[in-house]
Amino acid sequence: MPPKPTNKTNILRCLVNGQPVRIDYLASVSNMSHESVKLTLLSLPYVEYNQAGNIIASGLSLPPTPYLFQVGCKDLYTWCALDTLMYPVLLGQQANVESLCPNTGTLIKLTISSKAVKRVSPEGIVLSLVVPKNPSTCCDVCDTFCNHVHYFSSFSAAERWKATQSNVIILSLKEAFDLGCYLAKCRLELKKTSFINMIFAQQS
């Protein structure tokens, strides 16, 4: 029997419908009691709610962010570039992604499925990632690093931005997609992992 998705994964699968997620609905799809879900949500970092107490963001976001994540005809958003590579795997759905290069302002477009990045504009896109000084730090989500995780239109554009930052590495699009797939599969299989350790393995 496949492992049961985590509540965070269930939140994503509910948010992709494009509507705020009620706690009682999340409890129903998670096969958990309302109180158990509320207690679990308290342990999850970075869950955003609207005034009615419904979930509106947890990596995948209904309020706009710099990362448009279009699934079907629904305009959704993510908190960082790496999320856009993880979520097609977690959701099993193709997404059209748009963002602006922080250095040049160039419009970046990608079509991402659970298996591959199918369309890229412009060619040569790379991704930045901030890495704590301690590579043994364990973290199974990228939310802590989102403010530094961007798409860039070229390696040179990323390098110019990197010169103003600390503890940042630049990944090729293939490296970033492989990382996103790895993190998504670990979440689906309920494996604890450190994406930081994987990054360092890629760079060695």
Question: Max alpha carbon distance in the chain (Å)?
Answer: 51
Q: The tokens of 114 are what?
A: 């659970």
Beta bridge partners of 75: 70
State which amino acid sits at residue 149. V
Q: Two tokens at 26?
A: 């999340």
Phi-psi region of 124 (alpha: psi -120 to 50; beta: other; left: phi over 0): left
**Residue ranges with strand state E in 10-167:** 48-49, 55-58, 60-61, 67-71, 74-78, 95-100, 107-112, 117-121, 126-130, 151-152
Question: Per DSSP, what are the bridge partners of residue 169?
Answer: 129
Question: DSSP character for 147?
Answer: G
Catalytic residue positions?
Answer: 80, 83, 146
Task: Of 167, 199, 157, 154, give the one whose Cα is nearest residue 180.
Answer: 199
